[in-house]
Each structure stands twice: as structure tokens, then as C-alpha cells.
Amino acid sequence: MSAGKVLGMIFLAKIMKNEYRDSVFLMRINDQVERMPGVKRAAVMMGTDANKDLMKEAGLYIDQVKDAGPNDLVIVLEADDKGSAEEALSKAQELTSKVERETRIEEEPYRSLRSAVAFEPDIDLVLISTPGEYAYREAMRSLLLGKHVMVFSSNVPIEKEIRLKELAERKNLLVMGPDAGTAIVSGVGLGFFNVVKDGPVGIVGAAGTGIQEVSSVLGLSGVGISAAIGTGSNDISETIGGKTMLMGLNMLDLYDGTKTITIISKPPSKSVAEKVVQKAHESKKPVILNFIGNEDFSPSGNVDFAFTLEEAAYKSHLKATGKEMKLADWVNPDKLKEVSDMLRPDQRFVRGLFSGGTINYESQAIFKRSGRSVWSNSALDKSKKIGGFDNSKDDTFIDMGSEEYVRGVPHPMIDFRFRKERILKEAQDPSVGVILLDIILGYGANMDPASEIAESVSRVRAFNKSLIFISSIVGTESDPQDINKQVKTLTNAGVIVTPTSARAADIALKIIERRWKA
């Protein structure tokens, strides 16, 4: 080690013989040392001629460096004082001999679908649940990459849905959605779904909760599902022409594991209905068409029709197994009579607060069949449409999963806030006799919905003893929520619980029309 002094500055150098280091490695150390307090300049480099030139340029080429060779590590420091120079020198030596330990290389997540597919080309299907305005592009990209798609996202403009489905048709790919809540493909549930075993019934549905209810009811009665294809709610419109529904029907027809095909949707436009019925007739398999609440068709050949979801499940069960469906009933008739007796004469209306759009629609159809046309934000009768966030009159059924209720908040299957507020509000209306509800279990849903409803009921009981609560529950014994516990919690709270939405609507109808009265 040697030190020189020029104009009050300290120079300190160290030559480390035969200590080769990579130049970039040394540049980093050079940089670190130069940043130390009191250090003016530093050269930490191999003693090559090129580097000596650099040192000359920098004014760091002191006598001692002259003897350094290309394999010698040179450290030269210019500092304000001896202490700083020595400290920097020792730091430089420490750093040059330090072995950096490699940190764990973490897997970087894929930032785009393109890179996911580039690295994992065996991806078959893409599930898209981005906000609606971004979903089209992701779906288009999936198709361009040759992948089937399920678009859970809603609010995708219909002209974009057409573009997606036209491309999918050309590429023989399936587009489920947009606005497809539920699907089960080869045993994999997507979006909101209930856990069912593999089995003979294949479902195509434009109605998410409809698919959930039919698959759950079949599940509870011991019949499995080979696939459930959600088409999205717009698919059956005139504009889209049922492209996904027809393709899904075709896929199930071709798949040997499917013995019976069940189609669930609100009644499609006339031309779509005709296409679907025709396609159903071309199938080799029994087809149950459940255009909810529709009585225009009559069974012929391999095609049969169902009015309610429960009826669809019943007929599918019969076709698939040759046996009648036995579904447990949790309702005690004595209890029904008891609660009916408590109704005051002025309690003449039913208020339905649903999380399932299909269930809302089916309940209206059941009421309409008995001559009660119901007000709704998603009305079966166009003349009975009711607007506003919390308006109701006479019989009113609200689909609380529709757009105005889910803007910026989770779906009512997950978040019960709005439903609970609405229950309290309806309970204050003396003309209301029955609150009709649905509860959906399964993946994606609230983990303890029964307690949410039970809490509301107990708050209502503080000021309203005669109001009757009826709720259907959609779920299976394999769902993450314990269905038996959910039923028990509701029953204990005084809620009448049914395993299908049709039964719940039916009971509500009979109670409000005083048909249970002795």
C-alpha cells in the first residue's frame, strides 16, 4: 500500500496480483466505492493498457499503478483525507472478494394471454372475468390463439358479441358468454357453479342460475352432469341467432358421455326457438327444452318441453335413468298452514327479491299462469316493467343481479347488503304478506348466505310478526357451503325452505291466495 499527496488530496492504491475479476463486476464496485463519504474518485479495474489509459484520463494513474499487469486488480482512490481513503480501500477489497449469493428465481406471472399461451400451448379454454369494456379484446385474442372461451364479464356490446361468435363459428371454437355465469366442462366448473359428479345429462343454457338449479337438483337426486355450457343471455336474441346454443347442442350430441340433453333459457326469439327446436329434433338423443314459462310447444319425437327448472330436471332425470326423480322436501305442511293463518287480510302481495335472473323470470311465469301478473325490473310482461332502484307495488319481483344493482358492487349471490336493505324496506309495507327469496350455494357464492338472511329475518321480527319468508336454495352436498347447515339455519329463523325455485313460488302463490286456509 502506498499513499501520495497532491494539492491536499490523498491518493491511495492497492495492486492485487493475479486477482482477475470481470470488468462489469468491477465497475459496480467502482461505483459503490466512489459514492463513499470523502471519496473523490476511484478506479477499481484490471491493469490492462486500455484501463491504464482510462486512469490517465481520470488523473488516477499514479506511479504504483505502472507495474500492474492485465491480470492484476488495481484499486486507486482519491479522497479528502487518509481515513476516508483507507475506509474506501478496505471496502473495495471486501467487495471484490465477496461472492454474491444467488437469490431464488421466482416465477414471473404472465402479463398477457399471448405469453401464457406461448409458454403453455396446451391451454384449452380461457375464462375471462375482466370488467366488460376489456372483455371483448381478451376474448378475440383467445379465439385468434385457437382457444375456446368463456366470457363471464357482462356489458359487452352486442355487435362485438356477433364478431366473436362469427369468428368462433369459422374456427369451430366455443364462445360461452358474454355474461355467462356458469359452465361445467369435463368436470371443471367455471364461474359460479355447484359441485356435481360426472353423469349422463348434458346442459346448454342461456340462464346461469337456471343451469345451477337444474344441475344441483339433478345432483341432489343422484344424477351427474357430463357438461353444462353457458351461452350468455344475449345468445338467444335474434341478432346473435343462438350460435353458441346450437354449437353446444351439437357438441353434446357428438359426445358419447351425454345421454340426455337439456336446454335451459328464457324463451328465445321466434326464429331462434325454431332453429333450436329443429336442431333438437335432428339429435339422436332425448332433448328436454326448457324455454322457461313457455307453453307454445308440444312434445314430439325425441323432444320434450318443460315449464319450470324443476320440471326440466325431473324430465331429464327420467330420460337419462328411466326412473322418477325423488327430491327431498324440507317443507312441513302444518307449518305452512300455521303461518298462513297468521296473515292479516290486508297482507295481499308478494315481494320477490332474487339473486338469480332466471329464478326471477320463472317465478313471474308461475304467478302469471295463475293470473297474477307481476311487476319487475326484468318483466315477463313488458307492460309490468317497474323502474327505479327500490320501487315496488302489488306483487313485485326484483332481479337484484341486474345491472343497476351490481354497478361497482359484488353480485347479490356474494354480497347481501342490498337484499338485506330491501327486505327491511318491504317488511314495512303493510300490504306485503310474503317475501320470496332465492339462495345460491356453490363456488363463487357467499360462504354463509343463510346467516345473512336469518339476520334480516330476526330484524324484521322486531316489528313485523306476520310476514312470511320463503326461500329456495340451490346447491349440492358437495358444495363448499354445508347445504344441510344452511337449510337448518334458515328453518330455525322461521324461513320456509324449498329445494327448487318453482316450489318456492308455488308456495308463495298458494299462501297469498289463501289456498292453505282450512
Partner 1 sequence: MSSSIIGKKVKVASVGLDSFFNDLKNEGADAVKVDWKPPAGGAPAALKVLEDLECEEVDEANSKAISAILSAEPKFVGMAIAKEVIPELKGMSLSHSGPPIKWERMSGPMKGAIIGAAIYEGWIKDESEINELIKGEQIKFMADHDVSAVGPMAGVISPDMPVYIVQNATTGNKAYTNFNEGVGKVLRYGAYGKEVIDRLNWMKDTLYPMFKESVSKMGPLSLKPIMSQSLQMGDELHTRNVASTLLFIKEIAPYMTGGGFTSSQISQAISFMGGNNLFFLNLAMAAGKVTMDAASGINKSTIVTALTRNGTDFGIKVSGLGKEWFTAPAPVPKTLFFPGFKEGDANPDIGDSAIMETNGFGAFSSAASPAVTQVVGSSVSEAIRVTRRMYEITAARDKSFPIPALNFEGIPRGIDLRLVIETSISPTINTGVAHRLPGMGTVGFGIVDAPLGAFDKALQRFGQIV
* Cβ neighbours of residue 240 closer than 8 Å, sequence gap 6 or more: 158, 161, 162, 165, 234
424 binds partner 1 (CB under 8 A): no
Cα–Cα distances in Å, from 460 out to 400, 466, 506?
Answer: 20, 10, 23
How many Cα atoms occupy the beta-carbon half-sphere of 315 within 13 Å? 22
How many Cα neighbours within 13 Å face the side chain of 379? Answer: 16
Phi then psi for residue 3, to 5 deg, are -135, 140
**Strand order from edge to edge, sheet including 73-79:** 2-6, 9-16, 73-79, 39-46
Tell me, what DSSP letter sits at residue 453? H
Convert residues 24-43 into a mask of x (bound to partner 1 by CB under 8 A) and - (unbound): xx-xx-xx--x------xxx
Q: Which of 14, 147, 285, 351 binds partner 1 (CB under 8 A)?
A: 147
Task: Specify the DSSP element, H or E, that contains 151.
Answer: strand 148-151
CB of 50 to partner 1, least distance (A): 7
Q: Which stretch binds partner 1 (CB under 8 A): 140-148, 285-293, 294-302, 341-349?
A: 140-148
174 part of the interface to partner 1, by CB under 8 A: yes
The reply to whether omega before 267 is within 30° of 0 (cis) is no
Q: With binding defined as CB under 8 A, does residue 385 bind partner 1?
A: no
Site for partner 1 in 43-82 (CB under 8 A): 43-45, 49-50, 53-55, 57-60, 76
CB–CB of 510/516 below 8 Å? yes
Contact region with partner 1 (CB under 8 A), list: 136-144, 301-309, 323-331, 457-465: 136-144
Does 153 participate in binding partner 1 (rule CB under 8 A)?
yes
List binders of partner 1 among 436-465 (CB under 8 A): 443-444
Q: Where in 94-133 is the site for partner 1 (CB under 8 A)? A: 100, 102-106, 108-120, 122-131, 133
Stretch that binds partner 1, among 135-143, 337-345, 348-356, 505-513 (CB under 8 A): 135-143
Nearest distance in Å: CB 476, partner 1 = 13
d(CA 122, CA 345): 64
Q: What is the distance between the alpha carbons of residues 493 and 330, in angstroms, rounded to a whole number?
A: 14
Supply the minimum distance, in Å, between the C-beta of residue 10 and partner 1: 16
The residue from 84, 85, 152, 347 that contacts partner 1 (CB under 8 A) is 152
122 versus 296: smaller Cβ distance to partner 1? 122
**Which among 178, 179, 224 is positioned nearest to 203, based on CA atoms?**
224
In the complex, the smallest distance separating the C-beta of residue 206 from partner 1, rounded to whole angstroms, is 18
Cβ neighbours of 184 (radius 10 Å): 25
Q: Which of 226, 260, 262, 396 binds partner 1 (CB under 8 A)?
A: 226
| 186 is a site residue for partner 1 (CB under 8 A) | yes
Q: Does residue 470 contact residue 501 with C-beta atoms inside 8 Å?
A: no
CB of 429 to partner 1, least distance (A): 36
Long-range contacts of 280-285 (CB under 8 A, 24+ apart): 280/249, 283/249, 283/253, 284/253, 285/252, 285/253, 285/258, 285/259, 285/260, 285/261
What angle, 0 to 180 degrees and rounded to 10, lies between the N-to-C axes of helices 158-171 and 243-254?
A: 30
Residues in binding contact with partner 1, number by CB under 8 A: 90
CB of 54: closest distance to partner 1 in angstroms? 6
Asked if residue 11 binds partner 1 (CB under 8 A), the reply is no
CA angle 483, 359, 412 (to 5 degrees): 65
Q: Binding string, 268-307, against partner 1, x = CB under 8 A?
A: ----------------------------------------
Residue 331 is a binding residue for partner 1 (CB under 8 A): no
Which residues in the 461-500 window bind partner 1 by CB under 8 A? 480
Stretch that binds partner 1, among 134-142, 278-286, 315-323, 457-465 (CB under 8 A): 134-142
